[in-house]
Amino acid sequence: MNLIDPDQPPEIRMMRQERIIAALMRRAERQTEMNVSAYSAFQSAIDLQAQVAAKTRDLEEAATELETARGDRERTQRNLQDALSVMQEGFALFTEGHLNVCNHLFRTVLPDIADEIVSGLTLDGYFELMVRSRHLVSTDHKIHHPAAQLKKTEDGAMAMSLMIEVTGDIWYQLRLQRTSPENVVLLLTEITPLVRQNRSEKKTLIAQQADYLQAVFETMTSGVCTFCSDGRLMMQNRQFRRLLGVPLSELQRGTTLDRLLAFMQANELVRDEALLEIAHWQQNPAPNGWLRRVRHGRGRVLDVQVNALPDGGFLVELKDVTLESRATEMLENRVLERTAELTHANARLTEQFEEKARVEEELRLAKERAEAAVSSKTRFLAAASHDLLQPINAAKLLISTLQEAAQDSHLSPMVDRLQRAFTSTEQLLHALLDISRLSSADPDAVTATEVDLGALMEGVFADQLPLSEFRDVRLDVVPCRCVVRSDPVYLQRSIQNLVVNAIQYTAPGGRVLLGARRRGPDVVVEVWDTGIGIETADQQRIFEEFARAGNAEFVTGMGLGLSVVDRTCRHLGHALRLRSVPGAGSVFSIEMEVVGDRPPRADPSAGVQGMGDTPFDHDVLVIENDAEVLFATRQRLERWGARVFGAPSTSGARRVLQETGVTPDIVLADYHLDGTDTGLEAVAALRDWSGNHLPAILITADRSEILRRMAARDDISVISKPVKLSRLRPLIDWAIQCHTGALTDARPRSTDTDKSRP
Amino acid sequence: MRDGVTGPRHVGVAQSSAVDAGAAVAEVTAAVGQADTAFVLVFVPNRLGVQEVERALAARLENMPVFGCTTAGQITPDGYTSDALLLMAFPRDSFRCAPVLIEGLRPFSFSGVAAAVEEQADRFEHTAGWNRLALLFTDGLSNQEDLLVSTLETVLPDMPVFGGSAGDGLDFRQTHVLCAGRAHTDAALLLIVETALDFTGFSFDHFQPTDQQLIITGAEPEERLVFEINGAPAAREYARLVDCPRDALSPQVFAENPILVHHKGSYFVRAVSDATEGDALSFMAAIDDGVIMTLGRGKEMIETLRAGLRHESATGERPDFILGFDCVLRRLEVEQKQLGHAVSEIFREARVLGFNTYGEQHRGVHMNQTFVGVAFFDPDGRGRA
């Protein structure tokens, strides 16, 4: 605030102050004067303006309030108008039980009581008036003590609502409503148009429904006809007439069912009495209706369904099931035919089955017979062979003795021939026995065990060496150490047969080689010869019984050898092969499985054989029930230098030992003694009696494994009949030496022995 | 009309920058369909001789009521223009008018004015549904606006009066008002207008008070002359207070440093028009000896203007056009601050038409350095003064 220029000297400033004060004073004085100067006009104008502005503000506020008030009033008016529109109904307000206001309409609804409806009328009083009025035609329910009912009603709720009819088909709805604790409103709303419209709609609806029903009836695919409770016809449709074949004239409304049935009977339209039952049905209606399938007079089949109708009448419905029924019949026939066919087929099957069973039974019997026949043949052959072998055994022993006795005499060649003839007979018998055994279905015909192939081959070689020397054929064997899985007896026989064949079919000066070679897990035993060979055409045939190659001229034997080989290999699963060049030689081979290798050891036979020249100074007990064999054996053994004691049985042997007081060095016992007596029992008894574990050799034609095992269990060696002398002597020497402990390890294996089965 | 801004529908506008008065009048009158027009307002730039314009108008618009005044500049559809002759044609279907010419303002006769105005207002028949307002055009050098407008406010209490003082550029020598085609000096024209349009009147300024006060210690109120402020010669003291050399005082300085009168919470501008050789200040509004005044300071102009012109009808529509009375000192300040283009653009967008005054009248008060406007709306809206 620098009103006065501070740069001015004080006197000037003082002067200016005085002037300011003077001006303010002048202005202050002028304020009180009345004048119309421009500035005062301005001043008053802005004063006025401020006032006007304030007024304007007030005015605007007032206007706004007014506006609001007007809006409220308009709303109220509108509400009032709404109320007025409500008042187009009859309206009455009862305050504290007495009529407060009502409108004109309310008063004039019932004109005869209009004058009595005055302010102060009670609610119950009004209703009494109303009930009394001549113009009141009806109410839909009774009015009693509306005021009492009101008391139970809450505010705003409808206390009562009823419909009243006034003369001239005029209708009102009367509603009684409590609007506040004091106020009750009674409203009369005219509903005449509603009632009338409702009524007319109902009528129209009924008419429409009748038409509709008729139309539905006509278009239904089944024949339908209704009867009223007294049996008169009401409605029917086209399909009904068509199905029934009754003219329209007979189906007029009012026609009775009896008449209709009578007409049908008269016109032969009823082929089925069932249709007539309809008449009785009505007297005894079932709740679920009545359904029959009937044949109509015109060949139709109809399903007739009768159902009760609510008004006591009934409805008859016809369905044409002619086609359906025909189809059903056809189907039924077809089913019958099919059933008959099936029954027939079943009978045939049963017959066939029975036939088959019979055939099977026959077959079974035939098989049993065949088996019995085979079995008896085998038994016969076995028995025959065994019985034949006994005398041959004896004969061979005798011939052997005879050969030595006739040596260098003129009888010698003849005895040799005799010896060969018996050898052939023996071989033939063995072959026959083998074939008969291999032919039988007995699974025990062969028994596969571990076999020392090398030893077996050596045995064959040793046995056939004399033959080869006789035939001037060089026979060689290649040592082998394989252990194979096979039947020791038949394998030995097979290899022997091949070697014998080879020697026989090889010209003097030729060669036969027996050897074995490994092929993978198997070993092949081969027999080579430089013989005449076999034509390709004969290569298959030679394995058959009694077959012989075309170029085999002078050969001994019956041709059973290869057959035995073939059968043996088939039984054991060994592969038998033949390679041959006619004129150059043949190779027979047998291939079998290898199960291991035998450790190299000293050959027992070789050790035994090496002692051929040693003295045979033994006490030998021979137990043999066959006197001839006993004699032949005694001859042979005594020739070798032994002292022989003979006995036919266990008891006989014991008696001999008792009488002589000798303990034999060895016991030779036949297995089959008289009765139940056996060589095994004899050995056991003698060992018991002597208290000495006597060495023993069992001589038998029985080649069974069981026997062999039983003998081995008792530490008894076994040698087959007919006894090969070349093998008997070393075996005796070895057995005695074993007993005395001289050669405990050199006991020949059972495979080294020649065994036979009975 | 200019591109981008559609013109008003309820008033015809024409302007001419022709040098010759006859040619300018010919140009603006050619654009007016006389048959449809109730009356025209003509705003005459200082460069044109008012007598030439008067004659040309008489020739061109023979039976047309022509009103208007000389000005200190025009607001045309292009914004501020100093030199253009502006013509506004008010159509019959929306406007009627009744003029009152008040001659011989000095000395001012309160009763004479009141009688003339009352009589005319009574005689002017009221059209149902139309609104009334009054437009006042006064000799800008008469110094009688304060009395005149205050009188009118009293005589016509229900009619809003909007007015502008005629100018003569920045010459402050002689101004004229046009009534019925004739130019008058020492006179005022009150044009009572009835319109089918809705309208809203408004005024605004762009000043706020500072804490610098001053006291008029010597004045001649009749002449709006102040000799002494704060006991010192007025011009020198004013120059000291606005921190400006005495010799540099100019209308621009006056425009930027207005003197305000405080009255009951409101400030009113008392604009200075000139500094005399005797170091007196001549004012453009009423002053008095012993009055305490306040020095004012300008506010930001553009946003103030934009906000001041922002008016909408009751139905949310923008004005069809705004008749504007804009103080010449505002325009000087605008030009001083090189805002002429921006302000013109705002005027154009707001469809402001009018002129630069030597003073503005609104609500019975004569003011300086304000903008007084009347916004006209399509009749759907509701106008209120």
What residues in A contact B215, CB-CB < 8 Å? 3, 20, 23-24
Tell me if A42 and B231 make a contact (CB, 8 A cut-off): no
Q: Cα(A650)–Cα(A677) distance, rounded to whole angstroms?
A: 7
Q: Is A685's pLDDT higher than 60?
A: yes
Q: Is B114's pLDDT higher than 70?
A: yes
> From residue A290, how far is each of A41, A282, A569, B334, B367 by CA, in Å?
120, 10, 89, 114, 115
Tell me if A8 and B211 make a contact (CB, 8 A cut-off): no
Higher pLDDT, A281 or A717: A717
Tell me if A47 and B268 make a contact (CB, 8 A cut-off): no
Q: State pLDDT tens for residues A249-258.
A: 778 888 888 8
SS3 B311: coil
Q: Which of A151-160, A239-248, A586-595, B277-286 shows the lowest mean pLDDT across its residues?
A: A151-160
Place of tokens 């249709």: A275
Share of chain A above pLDDT 70, in %: 86
Tell me if B110 and A36 make a contact (CB, 8 A cut-off): yes
Are B67 and B41 spatial neighbours (Cβ–Cβ below 8 Å)?
A: yes
Identify the pLDDT of residue B382: 40
Q: Which residue of B has its CA nearest to A27?
A: B290
Q: Is A121's pLDDT higher than 70?
A: yes
Residue range A295-318: mean pLDDT, rounded: 81
Tell me if A16 and B217 make a contact (CB, 8 A cut-off): yes
Distance from CA of A168 to the nearest CA of B (A): 56
Q: In the structure encoding, which two tokens stand for residue A187, read together?
A: 């409203």
Q: Cα(B89)–Cα(B32) distance, rounded to whole angstroms?
A: 7
Tell me if A46 and B365 make a contact (CB, 8 A cut-off): yes
Are B274 and B255 spatial neighbours (Cβ–Cβ below 8 Å)?
A: no
Q: In the structure encoding, which two tokens stand for residue A695, read together?
A: 């060495």
What residues in B contact A1, CB-CB < 8 Å? 211-213
Q: Which of A38-42, B58-62, B247-251 shows the lowest mean pLDDT across its residues?
A: A38-42
Identify the pLDDT of residue A36: 65
Whether residue A55 lies within 8 A of chain B, CB to CB, comes out as: no
CA atoms within 13 A on the CB side of A103: 15
Interface of B with A (CB under 8 A): 110, 143-144, 146-147, 149-150, 153, 211-218, 221-222, 224, 228, 230-232, 237, 240, 263-264, 266, 268, 285-292, 363-366
All residues at 6 or more sequence positions from A92 whose CB lies less than 8 Å from its CB, including other chains: A99, A101, A102, A103, A106, A126, A185, A186, A187
| DSSP classification of residue A665 | S
Identify the pLDDT of residue B294: 93
Residue range A215-220: mean pLDDT, rounded: 82
Distance from CA of B29 to the nearest CA of A (A): 39
Q: Is B379's pLDDT higher than 90?
A: no
Tell me if B290 and A43 make a contact (CB, 8 A cut-off): no
In one letter, which amino acid is A257? L
What residues in B contact A44, CB-CB < 8 Å? 150
Q: In the structure encoding, which two tokens stand for residue B291, read together?
A: 């009055």
DSSP codes joined into one string, A580-629: EETTTEEEEEEEEEEEEEPPP---HHHHHHTTTTS----EEEEE-S-HHH
Mutate one of A29, A42, A51, A52 to test the B interface: name it (highest B CB count within 10 A). A42
Burial of A254 (0-12, 13-18, 19+ CB in 10 A): exposed
Band (pLDDT 50/70/90 cuts) for residue B194 is very high
Identify the pLDDT of residue B330: 92
Share of chain A above pLDDT 90, in %: 6
Distance from CA of B254 to the nearest CA of A (A): 19
Nearest to B161 by CA among A37, A57, A45: A45
Q: In the structure encoding, which two tokens stand for residue A525, read together?
A: 């035993």
| DSSP classification of residue A248 | G
Identify the pLDDT of residue A751: 40
All residues at 6 or more sequence positions from A306 whose CB lies less than 8 Å from its CB, including other chains: A278, A281, A289, A290, A291, A314, A315, A316, A317
Cis peptide before A193 (omega within 30 of 0): no
DSSP codes joined into one string, A675-743: TT-BHHHHHHHHHHHHTS---EEEEES---HHHHHHHHHTT-EEEESSPPHHHHHHHHHHHHHHHHTTT
Q: Cα(B133)–Cα(B135) distance, rounded to whole angstroms?
A: 7
Are A514 and A476 spatial neighbours (Cβ–Cβ below 8 Å)?
A: yes
Burial of A724 (0-12, 13-18, 19+ CB in 10 A): middle
Distance from CA of A15 to the nearest CA of B (A): 7
Identify the pLDDT of residue A749: 42
What residues in A contact B211, CB-CB < 8 Å? 1
Determine how β-strand B85-91 pairs with β-strand B95-103.
unpaired
Q: Is A38's pLDDT higher than 90?
A: no
Tell me if B365 and A30 make a contact (CB, 8 A cut-off): no
Q: Is B2's pLDDT higher than 90?
A: no
Q: Cα(A350)–Cα(A99) distance, rounded to whole angstroms?
A: 109
Identify the pLDDT of residue A656: 85
Burial of A10 (0-12, 13-18, 19+ CB in 10 A): exposed
Tell me if A42 and B266 make a contact (CB, 8 A cut-off): no
Are A683 and A696 spatial neighbours (Cβ–Cβ below 8 Å)?
A: yes
Q: Which residue of A has its CA nearest to B152?
A: A45
Identify the pLDDT of residue A611: 42
A19-38 residues touching B, CB cutoff 8 A = 19-20, 22-28, 30, 36-38
What residues in A contact B150, CB-CB < 8 Å? 41-42, 44-45, 48
Identify the pLDDT of residue A183: 82
What residues in A contact B289, CB-CB < 8 Å? 23, 26-27, 30
Radius of gyration (Cα) for chain B, nearest Å?
A: 20
Q: In the structure encoding, which two tokens stand for residue B52, read together?
A: 């030439």
What residues in B contact A22, CB-CB < 8 Å? 217
Mutate one of B237, B288, B291, B366 to test the A interface: name it (highest A CB count within 10 A). B288
Identify the pLDDT of residue B355: 96
Q: Cα(A329)–Cα(A347) distance, rounded to whole angstroms?
A: 27
Identify the pLDDT of residue B381: 43
Distance from CA of A22 to the nearest CA of B (A): 8
Q: Is B143's pLDDT higher than 50?
A: yes
Whether residue A51 lies within 8 A of chain B, CB to CB, comes out as: no
What residues in A contact B213, CB-CB < 8 Å? 1, 3
Q: Which residue of A has its CA nearest to B261?
A: A43
Distance from CA of A16 to the nearest CA of B (A): 4
Residue range A225-251: mean pLDDT, rounded: 82
Q: Is B163's pLDDT higher than 90?
A: yes
Residue range A501-525: mean pLDDT, rounded: 88
What residues in A contact B217, CB-CB < 8 Å? 16, 19-20, 22-23
Handedness of CA B35, B74, B375, B146 (dihedral sign): negative
Q: In the structure encoding, which two tokens stand for residue A671, read together?
A: 């297995």
Residue range A332-339: mean pLDDT, rounded: 92
Q: State pLDDT tens for residues B72-96.
A: 999 999 999 988 999 999 999 999 9
What are the b/e assignments for A217-244, b being 16+ CB within 10 Å? beeeeebbbbbbeebebebbbebbbebb
Q: In the structure encoding, which two tokens stand for residue A744, read together?
A: 């405990």
In one letter, which amino acid is A665? D
All residues at 6 or more sequence positions from A718 whose CB lies less than 8 Å from its CB, including other chains: A697, A698, A699, A700, A707, A708, A711, A712, A750, A753, A755
Band (pLDDT 50/70/90 cuts) for residue A115 is confident
Q: Cα(A377)–Cα(A374) distance, rounded to whole angstroms?
A: 5
CB atoms inside a 10 Å sphere around CB A596: 12
Whether residue A39 lies within 8 A of chain B, CB to CB, comes out as: yes
Identify the pLDDT of residue B228: 92
Q: Is A605's pLDDT higher than 70?
A: no
Q: Is B70's pLDDT higher than 90?
A: yes
Tell me if B221 and A4 make a contact (CB, 8 A cut-off): no
Q: Cα(A200)–Cα(A567) distance, rounded to whole angstroms?
A: 118
Nearest to B9 by CA among B321, B322, B350: B321
Tell me if A3 and B214 make a contact (CB, 8 A cut-off): yes
Q: State pLDDT tens for residues A648-663.
A: 888 888 888 888 888 8
Q: Is A304's pLDDT higher than 80?
A: yes
Identify the pLDDT of residue B133: 94
Higher pLDDT, A155 or A471: A471
Q: Is B5's pLDDT higher than 70?
A: no
What are the b/e assignments for A411-448, b being 16+ CB within 10 Å? eeeebeebeeebbebbbbbbbbbbbbbbbbeeeebbeb
Identify the pLDDT of residue A608: 40
What residues in A contact B146, CB-CB < 8 Å? 38-39, 41-42, 45
Tell me if B221 and A37 make a contact (CB, 8 A cut-off): yes
Residue range A686-711: mean pLDDT, rounded: 82
Identify the pLDDT of residue B14: 93
Q: Cα(B187)–Cα(B116) distance, rounded to whole angstroms?
A: 14
Band (pLDDT 50/70/90 cuts) for residue A445 is low
Domain ranges in chain B are 12-204+301-377, 207-298
Band (pLDDT 50/70/90 cuts) for residue A224 is confident
What mean pLDDT value characterizes chain B?
89
Q: Is A348's pLDDT higher than 90?
A: yes
Q: Which residue of A has its CA nearest to B231?
A: A16
Radius of gyration (Cα) for chain A, nearest Å?
A: 74
Q: Cα(B79)–Cα(B167) distance, rounded to whole angstroms?
A: 18
Which range of A33-37, A427-431, B3-7, B194-198 scores highest in mean pLDDT? It is B194-198
Q: Is B146's pLDDT higher than 90?
A: no
Which range of A169-173, A299-303, A723-727 scores highest in mean pLDDT? It is A169-173
Long-range contacts, A375-378 (Cβ 8 Å, 24+): A375/A440, A377/A436, A378/A436, A378/A437, A378/A439, A378/A440, A378/A442
Q: Which of A53-62, A96-105, A280-289, B223-232 shows the lowest mean pLDDT across its residues?
A: A280-289
Q: State pLDDT tens for residues A703-756.
A: 777 788 888 888 888 887 777 777 788 888 888 877 776 444 444 444 444 443
CB-nearest partner of B230 from A3, A49, A50: A3
CB-nearest partner of B230 from A20, A40, A41: A20
Q: Is A609's pLDDT higher than 50?
A: no
Band (pLDDT 50/70/90 cuts) for residue B316 is confident
Place of tokens 């206001």: A101
Residue B100 β-bridge partners: B190
What mean pLDDT value characterizes chain A?
80
Nearest to B290 by CA among B233, B221, B205: B221
Band (pLDDT 50/70/90 cuts) for residue B383 is very low
Determine how β-strand A511-519 pairs with β-strand A474-477.
parallel
CB-nearest partner of B215 from A3, A28, A49: A3
Residue range B317-346: mean pLDDT, rounded: 92
> From residue A353, how far is each of A296, A357, B198 by CA, in Å?
51, 6, 124
